[in-house]
Structure 1
Amino acid sequence: MIQDIELISFKLCPFVQRTVIIAKEKGIELKVTYIDLANKPDWFKALSPLGKVPVLRVGDQVIFESNVIMDYFDEVTPGFLRPSNSLTNAVNKSWMEFANGLVMDQFHYLLSSSEVELKQNRQKYRQGLERLSQSIDKQPYFNGDDFCLVDAAFTPLFERQRILTQISGENPMEGFSNILLWGETLMARPSVKASLVDDFENLFIGRFSSMGGLLFKGPQQ
């Protein structure tokens, strides 16, 4: 088991959530230190080359970028959450990179502050979802029967979309039945349920509504 590890986190970060999911799946006990990204402490700035979370401190070494941290967790614990076939694994890693962009597309969508901006960001988000939908041809997970790292990479999209839909009445995932079914399967996993901080929904709504997102003002016309 990994010793002397600390995850530097922000409570609402989707990239942090995916690393916590894998830690839960692999039975890794994490010490978690939360920071405010709007007021980053100097020690964090010195620690993080990119100034972003998550950052994993292992002894006196530092690992950054969520996909790298997930891969590290998988490497140093028994069993693998990645395909044994090298080509399939490489394809999965490619889609994990795609997931990074889709998470950011969702972020821009939820922060849209005008009707014009919302329309543009919704369209870009849906384009990414459409491309993803075209590549999901297995069930219940991305590769079929087994939950893998690539599934964790996309999982943060679904709870955030659930909250946005609850408030605004719209869901750009509608029409992509395979994505919706995949999301339901992912959200039911104990590791996913345990990966969110207490009172996540209220914290999420409070932070992003204060940033002026149009979706947080109620149903859209």
Structure 2
Amino acid sequence: MPTQPDLELISFKLCPFVQRTAIVAQEKSVDLKVTYIDLKNKPDWFHNVSPFGKVPVLRVGDKAVFESSVIMEYFDDITEDSLRPQNSLTHAINRSWIEFGSELIMDQFNYLRSETNSQLEQMRSKYESSLAKLEAALVHEPFFNGTDFCLIDAAFAPIFKRQDILTSISGENPISQFPKVLNWGKHLSEKSSVQASLPTDFEKIFISTFGGMGGVLFSQELLTEG
């Protein structure tokens, strides 16, 4: 077997799309160097490896792979025991819902950044509408396809930690209206690969960063405590 080039994941600590790839790396025991950058002050070299100017980017030797779903599949390809369904149609359905998961992540992001009560109401409604569609799609348990943890589970897992933090601050949790989604999130959050995919200071940085934007879901009391 040819020697695998060194792998370096270009990351930002708060990015849920980065977390997706980190979960798969943990699950597949991928030997990986992680380099954190400041997205507000991107190093010059970053523009040469990221056509979209976004993270994650995976450096594979002197080449670059970008987009979280592609990096997840690459990790799966270079390791044993695939996290993708063997059935072609199931795999295609999974990939479709992974794309939906990307939109749901953005719905949650817009919800948590709401600056006024009226904006919060609007963004919460959009978030809940997407969660309702996901609820209808969940026909197995404990994971999306049943007993096996797959790439699609890694793709949605970042949503739940962020919602847990928001709930601890604001007291509200739109996911609680959707029992299948809620139960799925519980099982995902218990996975060691999911827990190990975040930096140890994630919650503090999350609250400090988004709370500092003045969003209505964040209380000043909690911000000053941290």
TM-score (normalizing by structure 2):
0.95
CA distance in structure 2 between the aligned counterparts of 1:218 and 1:167, rounded to whole angstroms: 10
1:61-118 CA distances to partner (integer Å, 9 max, x unpaired)?
1100000000000011111001000000000000000000000000000000001110
Alignment partner, residue 224 of structure 2: none
1:141-170 CA distances to partner (integer Å, 9 max, x unpaired)?
000010000000000000000000000000
| CA apart distance, 1:218 | 7.0
Alignment partner, residue 139 of structure 2: 137
Alignment partner, residue 159 of structure 2: 157
1:26-46 CA distances to partner (integer Å, 9 max, x unpaired)?
010210110011111111112
Question: % of aligned pairs identical?
Answer: 59
Could you tell me which of 85, 110, 113 is aligned with 2:112? 110
Matched letter for residue 113 of structure 2:
L
Alignment partner, residue 86 of structure 1: 88
Alignment partner, residue 210 of structure 1: 212
CA distance in structure 2 between the aligned counterparts of 1:212 and 1:64, rounded to whole angstroms: 31
SS at match of 1:38: coil
CA distance in structure 1 between the aligned counterparts of 2:165 and 2:207, rounded to whole angstroms: 8
Matched letter for residue 122 of structure 1:
R
CA distance in structure 2 between the aligned counterparts of 1:183 and 1:44, rounded to whole angstroms: 33
Matched letter for residue 197 of structure 2:
S
| CA apart distance, 1:171 | 0.4
CA distance in structure 2 between the aligned counterparts of 1:27 and 1:155, rounded to whole angstroms: 18
Stretches (4+) displaced over 2 A? none
Alignment partner, residue 181 of structure 1: 183
Matched, 1:198 2:200: yes
1:78–1:108 CA distance, 2 compared to 1 (3 A): same
CA distance in structure 2 between the aligned counterparts of 1:103 and 1:86, rounded to whole angstroms: 26
SS at match of 2:217: helix
CA distance in structure 2 between the aligned counterparts of 1:102 and 1:137, rounded to whole angstroms: 19
Matched, 1:66 2:68: yes
CA RMSD of aligned residues (A): 1.2
Instruction: Verify the 8 A CA contact 1:167 1:218 in the aligned structure 2.
Output: no
Matched letter for residue 81 of structure 1:
L
TM-score (normalizing by structure 1):
0.97
SS at match of 2:10: strand
Instruction: Verify the 8 A CA contact 1:168 1:218 in the aligned structure 2.
Output: no
| CA apart distance, 1:217 | 2.2
1:16-57 CA distances to partner (integer Å, 9 max, x unpaired)?
001000001101021011001111111111210000000000
Instruction: Verify the 8 A CA contact 1:8 1:55 in the aligned structure 2.
Output: yes
CA distance in structure 2 between the aligned counterparts of 1:218 and 1:103, rounded to whole angstroms: 25
SS at match of 1:8: strand
CA distance in structure 2 between the aligned counterparts of 1:60 and 1:45, rounded to whole angstroms: 14
CA distance in structure 2 between the aligned counterparts of 1:45 and 1:107, rounded to whole angstroms: 24
SS at match of 1:62: strand
SS at match of 2:18: helix
1:102-143 CA distances to partner (integer Å, 9 max, x unpaired)?
000000000000011100000000000000000001000000
* Consecutive unaligned residues in structure 2, runs of 5 or more: 222-226
| CA apart distance, 1:3 | 3.0
CA distance in structure 2 between the aligned counterparts of 1:187 and 1:60, rounded to whole angstroms: 34
CA distance in structure 2 between the aligned counterparts of 1:23 and 1:106, rounded to whole angstroms: 24
Matched letter for residue 85 of structure 1:
N
